[in-house]
Structure 1
Amino acid sequence: MSKIRRITIKPKKYRQVAGNSPGVIELDADALEPLITVFSYSESELISQEIKNSGELDAHLAKHQGLTHWVDIRGLGSMELFEYIGKRFNIHKLVLEDIAGTLQRPKLDEYDGYLFATSRMLYLNDNLEIENEQMSFILMPDILISFQENYQDCLHPVVTRLEGGKGNIRFAGSSYLMYTLMDVIIDNYFGLIYRLGDELDMIEELLYRKPDKSIMYKIQEIKRAMILIRRAAWPERDKINDMIRSDSPLITQDTKTFLKDIYDHCMQVVDLVESYKDVTTTLIDMNLSIISNRMNEIMKVLTIISSIFIPLTFIAGVYGMNFSYTDPETGKVLHHNMPELYAENGYLYTLLAMGLLAAIQVFYFYRKGWFK
């Protein structure tokens, strides 16, 4: 049996200044400098370019007009970038605040000329910690801007599909591209749930071998991880439902058809989480029951030993009082003291009596089934 992998939840710092005006952008002190990559594509071509500043982005978009553009931004540590996006694409300041805040629940907000959506990206880092990262999207005609907190390349499958040019991704528009990105996020939920499910199977096998407190703590960590996934999947389902029912022309009918598939996947995620949560509760109860049963077995053995030695101890205690049968000074016989104290074979007779009593008790306990 291999050792259980310790999957834990990476703590997320919360820094929000109370009393700020709505729309004030507060950048995290640990926010990374942005890395920007633009993918411009049509059914017949794909152009990717790393962007260093806003001027290059303007030049790239102007040069490749008529194509669909995906602006992939990883890292939110530049106030200049937020100011540029707000002015260049006429984005509301509340949207920019939510992008920088990185603690938003999945949601969809409709504005004049664009849609704003957030999702929670959950994945394991190299230290087997669950990263809870915010993904933000601004959907415009022929342009999709995505915002990611870290440099982790979680969206590489979408880049691979763009490079392959197969399926609908090259000609279905920016709303379909947004669908594919959210589909990758939901698929990561499945991978994480199955990983945690494998650990629960390992824990269940260990419970039958050697239950201990550390296993219970590990089960509790997995339960917390399941709750984290549920907190991300429930509002994600509601957001996708809002997208399906939206009247915005930015979301095409073809895209809505595929969004229904994601909606079903979210329901599957929620069902799996609820099932595994029940499993964690069952394993915790099983662990406590097994430990309690083993403690009962130990207490039964100790009780049998105590029951055997209590009468023997009583006999030894009585004859250990040593009240003399005669007065050593006057020689007077004390009839109510111990006449057996000076018996020739009293010690052997007492041992035999004690042994016989112990044997009778063992036989009685055996007939009662205490040794089974």
Structure 2
Amino acid sequence: MKAVQFLLIFLLTGGMWACGTKAEESRKEKPVEQTDDTSIPVKLTKVESVVRTEPIVASGLVSSSEEAKLSFKVGGIIEKLYVDEGQPVRKGQLLATLNLTEINAQVSQAQFAREKAERDLNRVKALYADTAATLEQVQNATTGHDVAQQNLAIVKFNQNYAQIRSTVDGTVTRRTMNEGEFAAAGSPVFMISSTHKNDWIVRVGVSDKDWARLKIGNRATISLEAYPEKTFAGTVRELAQAADPATKLYDVEIRIDPGAVKFAPGLFAKVTLQPAQSRSYTLVPIEAIVEGDGKDGFVFALSDDRKHVRKIPVQIGFIDDNNVLLTNGLSGISNVVTAGSAYLTETSTVLLK
């Protein structure tokens, strides 16, 4: 019995040893494939050069090309205001008057001074005829009379302009004062905008760089918040020859065609200007840009060993559909990383797809 058990144990041990030997030989015949789990698969896209006209985007308010800031010629207390904001007015219509008490007194005073100067002149002339006055006295009296006459003309002129009349057919867009307030000479009391059809403009401010690219007659596309589904055509009508001291921007006036749409002063407008001057750009897919911030961004390109990448700063001109046009930053670079760029750092190991 013991002999039989011993024989079984021997056979089992031999079988297990043979299976282990075959498994080990099998492993030796099929070496294990090794991969680098830290490599990031990426795809390269060729960099292109294109010539485009970069649009200029700015915003402003719709207004009439014929606007008037109306004020009194002289200072005084406002006696009466005849119109309110939003009210239509006609050219020549009386809009406001001053209290004339002080102004009328000045006119009377000037009249009395002229009458006295005239009497003095006549008296001196009579004395000069009797050789009782000198020629110099006659000349001085004549000058005094002329000065009094001119002073009277001045106060009468101011008396006539102690009122405001509309200079255009339009609408009162703003009224800055009320009855009983003191209006200083030249301080605007009314803002009047013309309501002539097809007489609408948009004024925007642009930088000196963009101003230099624009010319009279350049095309523009205007979108209004009041009509989000529509766009309007326009042309550059006027370019400012000096920058605004406050904003340091140059004003550009764009005439806009409203078509059959109703316009009103003050509508907010976004303007896209198309200058005639073109320039060269470097074109890359939009997915190549990482860490974009305004006009600044970065792209990745392969390093010399083609196993790593380097991060390159670029200047963004504008976006055109799924591409980005760069103004500089990729000199000497022929390919940039697109697929996989969001996962890269400058220490990443890459694997080309």
Q: TM-score range by the shorter chain?
A: under 0.3
**Structure ID, larger Rg:** 2
> Structure 2-normalised TM-score?
0.22
- The structure, 1 or 2, with the larger RCO (C-alpha pairs under 8 Å, 6+ apart) is 2
The structure that is helix-richer by fraction is 1
The structure that is strand-richer by fraction is 2
> Structure 1-normalised TM-score?
0.21
